[in-house]
Amino acid sequence: MERQVSGGLGFFGGLAIFLGLALLGYLVSTSSWTIRRAERTVTVKGLSEREVAADIAIWPIKFTEVENALDALYANLQAKSDMVVAFLKENGFDEDEIAVGPPAITDRMAEYYGGNERIPFRYSASVVVTVYTARVDRVLATMQQMVALGRQGIVVGGQNYDTRTEYLFTGLNDIKPAMIEEATKNAREVARKFAQDSDSTLGKIKEAHQGQFTISDRDSNTPHIKKVRVVSTVVYYLSD
């Protein structure tokens, strides 16, 4: 008899616990749904853009020489490197802004797999003289004077992928705070307009996400002018 009573109590006790947990779960889920339903928000994006001048220029000047004798090749490379450096100094660049790279020499005979045709020049070599400077305007002005090197017999390579002039903007940290503020204000204006159109009142910020800053050339013809851009995402509360 005692075993039957005990078993009955265990069944009804377990059933009561199960029903209690089920009811609790229902109440919690219903409350959460009610809170979410009552919490109205709007998500908007704010944009800030600025045009800035590059503050660093990296200007590679590449020229090529061909010869059949190595000693003559090295002599010509040295002489023309000196001419390029002298040209840059004449145009106002300091010695610590100029770096002359080692020559890259190719033995055409070693790479030749043709017939009996004669190779005009066995050796081909190139040298890159690089200007690294904060005087971007000086670089732009000196580029217009490159014809002077041509008159000295120095053929300078064009703006190819490996000799393209780079223009950098390093002052992002100086303009970040103002741009973030501007993007946030723009986002609030959009949110305020949305609230007005929906007969709501704009509340406080629920959450905000700062977008990634991007720096790009304004266009392909003026790479020394940069466009800085950031988009911020802001979530605002709404109320009736």
> Is 3 domain-assigned?
no
What is the per-residue pLDDT for 230?
97
- Domain limits at 80? 56-168
> Is 6 domain-assigned?
no
- Give the phi and the psi of residue 87 in degrees, each rounded to 5: -60, -45
Specify the CATH number for the domain of residue 191: 3.30.110.170
Q: How far apart are CA 139 and CA 98, in angstroms?
A: 12
Specify the CATH number for the domain of residue 148: 3.30.70.2970
Are 162 and 203 in the same domain?
no
Q: How far apart are CA 127 and CA 157, in angstroms?
A: 10
| pLDDT band, very low/low/confident/very high, at 119 (cuts 50, 70, 90) | confident
pLDDT digits (tens, 9 = 90+) for 184-210: 999 999 999 999 998 999 999 999 998
State the amino acid at position 64 in one-letter form. Answer: T
Are 122 and 184 in the same domain?
no
> Is 146 domain-assigned?
yes
